[in-house]
């Protein structure tokens, strides 16, 4: 792996983790609001819609976790390259 490739991977990883953190934080806040609304309403149709929305938040959170995991996996070639250089 070239120095330029390492630098590019570092940049992508940093941007990805920053994005994932920001998305996760916003997602948590919105999910909390939806959940509070679901528990505070007596409207069964609204509760049903909000349960579906909560599920969508959960699935999105799972996708963010996968994004972070795969981003970590992208670091493996860099570690291997560093080991080979030593």
Helices of type H across 41-75? 44-74
pLDDT digit string, tens, across residues 8-58: 888 998 999 999 989 999 999 999 999 999 999 999 999 999 999 999 999
Per-residue b/e over 36-45, b at no fewer than 16 CB within 10 Å?
Answer: eebeeeeeee
Query: Residues 6 or more apart from 38 whose CB is under 8 A from it?
Result: 46, 47, 50, 51, 54
Helix (H) and strand (E) counts for the chain? Answer: 3, 0
pLDDT digit string, tens, across residues 26-39: 999 999 999 999 99
pLDDT of residue 86: 61
């Amino acid at each position: 792996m070239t120095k330029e490739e390492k630098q590019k991977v570092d940049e992508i990883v940093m941007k990805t983790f920053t994005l994932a953190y920001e998305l996760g934080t916003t997602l948590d806040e919105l999910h909390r609001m939806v959940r509070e609304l679901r528990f505070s309403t007596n409207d069964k149709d609204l509760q049903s819609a909000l349960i579906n929305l909560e599920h969508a938040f959960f699935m999105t959170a799972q996708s963010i976790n996968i994004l972070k995991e795969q981003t970590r996996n992208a670091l493996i070639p860099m570690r291997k390259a560093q080991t080979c250089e030593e």
